[in-house]
């Protein structure tokens, strides 16, 4: 490609055979744009620009992409508006690309003659459109796509940017690391809460955009809708066809505003999990308010296979259904009887770090996960964070020939969803509730031996912990209580079957307890057990709960039983035929050995007194 050397030429790109510039008639040509970029070929063009493959001579001929402002509009006002869009794209690319590896970086932005140019990082790889033309995606590939792209969408949405053109051709699988890269921010829109409610220029692609975006009211849920459409098109290999008169799309019924992707896959004999069906259908809801409102919400449901048991507003769930065990999650089959969920403050999303154990090589790796929680206000300056623990089933206790005798027999338990405090109750939280009116007994506002507002409360009896729950319940109108022993172990394991939720061995980075040769992973590393603030290790289990191993013992509601013969299978408190004067303790403590901190390990103490290191955390049932 030849470059016209007239500095005022509005479009200097010419075919190699040209003797004169096809725009300005100039007869001087070169190979380099702006003394730096060698333009190779036209990649594509849209309503406002043309895109060229190029090489950066100053960077050892590194590949890049040049986008030339080339609006196909008439009139000065329209052209000026289009130019403003182009400049905004450059600003967005600079901010986004510099801060996220899955968005192309802006390398340069300049004006030459009467044209504007931006230069972007060139992503080597195939677009998803190229991939889907070869074969349809599997469910596993769709899940990986969502895991790759949802954090990117979360990032741009937190920067108050809506992409507005998510589709297979705007997603490239980078050959270098197989990561998905989101491209073409030409139609993206910078928004605030105020501007989102105002009608804007409608930019969209038919067959991918929702109705509110086509009307000029794009929002974060619009991008999520387009991502959902992208997923079902990749699953079905069914792409919309645009001709001069209409859009042909066998996947969508416009008269009923209904996507037909499930029927399409059923016709081909393709089976998709109930979890993915729920997620995709919620992404594809016709009204924006019925969709997921953030990428993190989608990630949460993708990581926790219980979302399809709930309606979109989490108000109702079926109570008498057949339950199909899929390992940890439960699928509920609808019947007519409904159970009302407990009313709680608005749920929020949070991100946390956990450890995943790989038993095949006895290694663990860090992983970022998503959780849901609400905050209970204790006073104007103090809150209690309650984590949503998804319902499911698990094997409670230890296998035969492992663990202690009181951990047998191992048995399957089904647990309904519930809320649990993120951390053991702190001394500040204890003191705030201890000042509330008495229900059955007095509470010492400062019972702990080791003082500190964010240290866990300790040296409290079982009855004092129950009094704390009663006072909190009367103040909030919600029935806070101690967890059942089954709920506690289920919450601690968080889907794992190993001795600890992070694996079979311990290091000082993973647990706050006394040294134990049986479980220590690195004998050369020193354990210096001491009581610390809650969350000090900055490591949660897969549910987002901290300090479930070590730190302080935690009271459970159950009276003590010497083994699990006759134990309930529904996660409830085992309140029959036990020793009511002795109550269950779980989790171990900072000054106890690792054996006693295992997920399955059990202990007890007198309900009236209790170990000096006895604390607790509260729970709240999901259902009323």
What is the SS3 assignment for 238? coil
The CATH T-level fold of domain 31-121 is Phosphorylase Kinase; domain 1 (3.30.200)
Q: What is the pTM of this model?
A: 0.75
The percent of residues in the chain predicted with pLDDT above 90, rounded, is 61
**What's 325's DSSP letter?**
E
Does 165 participate in catalysis according to the annotation?
yes
Distance of CA 18 to the CA centre of its chain: 54
Strand order in the sheet with 125-127: 125-127, 171-174, 180-182
Among residues 209, 205, 133, 128, the alpha carbon closest in space to that of 169 is found at 128
Q: Where are the domains of the chain?
A: 31-121, 125-303, 348-621
Res. 286: pLDDT tops 50: yes
Which residue has better confidence, 338 or 217?
Answer: 217
Query: DSSP secondary-structure letter at 569?
Result: S
DSSP annotation of 397 reads S
Q: Using only the alpha carbons of the chain, give its radius of gyration.
A: 30
For the chain, the farthest-separated pair of C-alpha atoms sits apart, in whole angstroms, at: 100
CA nearest 548: which of 510, 518, 605, 515?
A: 510
Nearest to 591 by CA among 513, 500, 507: 513
Predicted local distance difference test score (pLDDT) of residue 508: 75
Please work out, in degrees rounded to the nearest 5, the angle formed at the alpha carbon of residue 54 by the alpha carbons of 50 and 57: 140
pLDDT, one tens digit per residue, over 117-144 is 999 999 999 999 999 999 999 999 999 9
Q: What is the pLDDT of residue 358?
A: 56
What is the distance between the alpha carbons of residues 619 and 344, in angstroms, rounded to a whole number? 13
> Hey, what CATH class is 125-303 in?
mainly alpha
Mean pLDDT of the chain: 86
pLDDT at 512: 79
pLDDT confidence of residue 522:
57
Rounded Cα–Cα distance for residues 600 and 402 (Å): 10
The pLDDT value given to residue 199: 52
246 pLDDT tier (thresholds 50, 70, 90): confident
Distance CA 537, CA 548 (A): 11
Report percent pLDDT > 70 for the chain: 87
Tokens read off for 70? 């080339």
Vertex 207, ends 204 and 211: CA angle to 5°?
60
Residue 375: closest CA among 315, 427, 421, 316 = 421
Q: 78-107: string of b/e by CB count within 10 Å (b at 16+)?
A: eeeebbebbebbbebbebbbeebebbbbbb
Asked if the model's pLDDT at residue 589 lies above 70, the reply is yes
CB atoms inside a 10 Å sphere around CB 321: 15
Same fold, 31-121 and 348-621: no
pLDDT grade for 196, boundaries at 50, 70 and 90: very low
16-45 pLDDT, tens digit per residue, is: 888 899 888 888 888 888 889 999 988 887
Is residue 469 within 8 A of residue 436, CB to CB? The reply is no
Residue 470: pLDDT over 90? yes
Question: In the beta sheet, which residues pair with residue 67?
Answer: 51, 118
CB neighbour class for 358 (10 Å; exposed up to 12, middle 13-18, buried from 19): exposed
With H, G, I as helix, E, B as strand and everything else as coil, classify residue 385.
strand
Full 3-state SS string of 433-487: HHCCCCCCCCCCCCCCCCCCCCCECCCCCHHHHHHHHHHHHHHHCCCCECCCHHH
CB contact burial 108-130 (16+ within 10 A = b; e otherwise): ebeebbebbbbbbbbbebebbbe
* 3-class secondary-structure state, position 574: coil
CATH architecture label of 348-621? Alpha-Beta Complex (3.90)
* Residue 324 host element (H or E): strand 323-325
Question: Which residue in the list 27, 58, 154, 165 is annotated as catalytic?
Answer: 165
**Residue 231: enclosing H or E segment and its boundaries?**
helix 220-236
SS (H, E, C) 59-119: HCCEEEEEEEECCCCCCHHHHHHHHHHHHHHHHHHHHHHCCCCCCCCEEEEEEECCEEEEE
Whole-Å CA distances, 20 to 1, 24, 31, 179: 13, 8, 14, 44
- 92, pLDDT greater than 90: no
Instruction: Give the residue among 474, 515, 509 at the shortest CA–CA distance from 597.
Output: 515
Average pLDDT, stretch 483-497?
96
> Residue written as tokens 């979302």?
307
Which of the four pLDDT bands, split at 50, 70 and 90, describes residue 322?
very low
Give the count of beta carbons closer than 10 Å to the beta carbon of residue 257.
11
pLDDT confidence of residue 585 = 96
Output the six-digit token pair for 399: 């296998």
What gap in Å lies between CA 276 and CA 140, rounded to an integer? 10
């Amino acid at each position: 490609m030849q470059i016209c050397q007239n500095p005022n030429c509005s479009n200097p790109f010419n075919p190699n055979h040209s003797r004169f510039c096809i725009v300005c008639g100039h007869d001087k040509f070169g190979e380099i744009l702006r003394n730096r970029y060698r333009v190779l070929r036209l990649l594509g063009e849209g309503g406002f620009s043309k895109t060229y493959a190029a090489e950066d001579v100053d960077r050892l001929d590194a590949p890049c992409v040049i986008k030339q402002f080339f609006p196909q509009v008439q009139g000065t006002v329209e052209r000026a508006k289009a130019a403003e869009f182009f400049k905004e794209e450059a600003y967005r690319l600079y901010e986004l690309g510099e801060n996220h590896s899955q968005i192309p970086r802006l390398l340069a932005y300049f004006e030459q003659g009467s044209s504007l140019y931006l230069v972007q990082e060139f992503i080597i790889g195939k677009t998803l459109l190229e991939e889907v033309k070869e074969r349809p995606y599997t469910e596993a590939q769709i899940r990986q796509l969502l895991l790759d792209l949802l954090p990117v969408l979360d990032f741009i949405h937190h920067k108050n940017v809506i992409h507005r053109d998510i589709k297979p051709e705007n997603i490239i699988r980078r050959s270098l690391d197989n990561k998905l890269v989101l491209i073409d921010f030409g139609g993206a829109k910078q928004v605030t809460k105020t501007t989102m409610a105002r009608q804007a220029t409608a930019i969209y692609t038919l067959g991918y955009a929702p109705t509110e975006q086509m009307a000029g009211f794009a929002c974060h849920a619009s991008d999520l809708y387009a991502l959902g459409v992208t997923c079902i098109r990749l699953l079905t290999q069914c792409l919309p066809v645009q001709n001069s008169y209409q859009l042909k799309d066998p996947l969508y019924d416009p008269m009923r505003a209904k996507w037909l992707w499930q029927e399409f896959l059923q016709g081909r004999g393709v089976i998709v999990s109930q979890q993915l069906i729920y997620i995709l259908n919620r992404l594809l809801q016709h009204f924006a308010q019925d969709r997921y409102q953030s990428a993190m919400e989608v990630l949460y449901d993708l990581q926790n296979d219980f979302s399809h048991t709930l309606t979109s507003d989490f108000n109702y769930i079926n109570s008498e259904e057949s339950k199909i065990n899929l390992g940890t999650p439960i699928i509920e089959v609808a019947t007519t009887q409904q159970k009302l969920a407990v009313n709680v403050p608005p749920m929020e999303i949070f991100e946390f770090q956990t450890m995943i154990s790989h038993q095949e090589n006895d290694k663990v790796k860090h992983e970022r996960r998503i959780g849901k929680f609400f905050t209970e206000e204790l006073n104007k300056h103090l809150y209690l964070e309650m984590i949503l623990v998804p319902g499911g089933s698990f094997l409670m206790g230890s296998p035969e020939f492992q663990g202690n005798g009181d951990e047998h027999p191992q048995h399957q338990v089904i647990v309904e969803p519930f809320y649990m405090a993120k951390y053991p109750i702190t001394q500040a939280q204890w003191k705030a509730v201890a000042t509330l009116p008495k229900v059955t007994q007095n509470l010492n506002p400062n019972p702990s031996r080791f003082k500190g507002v964010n240290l866990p409360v300790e040296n409290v009896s079982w009855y004092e912990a129950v009094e704390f729950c009663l006072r909190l319940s009367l103040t909030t109108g919600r029935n806070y209580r101690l967890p059942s022993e089954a709920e506690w172990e289920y919450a601690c394991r968080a889907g794992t079957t190993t001795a600890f939720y992070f694996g079979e061995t311990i290091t000082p980075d993973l647990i706050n307890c006394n040294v134990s040769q049986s479980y220590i992973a690195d004998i050369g590393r020193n354990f210096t057990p001491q009581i610390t603030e809650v969350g000090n290790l900055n490591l949660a289990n897969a549910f987002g709960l901290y300090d479930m191993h070590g730190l302080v013992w935690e009271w459970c509601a159950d009276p003590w039983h010497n083994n699990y013969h006759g134990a309930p299978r529904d996660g409830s408190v085992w309140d029959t035929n036990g020793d009511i004067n002795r109550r269950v303790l779980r989790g171990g403590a900072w000054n106890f050995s690792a054996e006693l901190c295992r997920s399955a390990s059990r202990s007890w103490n007198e309900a009236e007194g209790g170990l000096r290191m006895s604390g607790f955390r509260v729970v709240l049932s999901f259902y009323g």
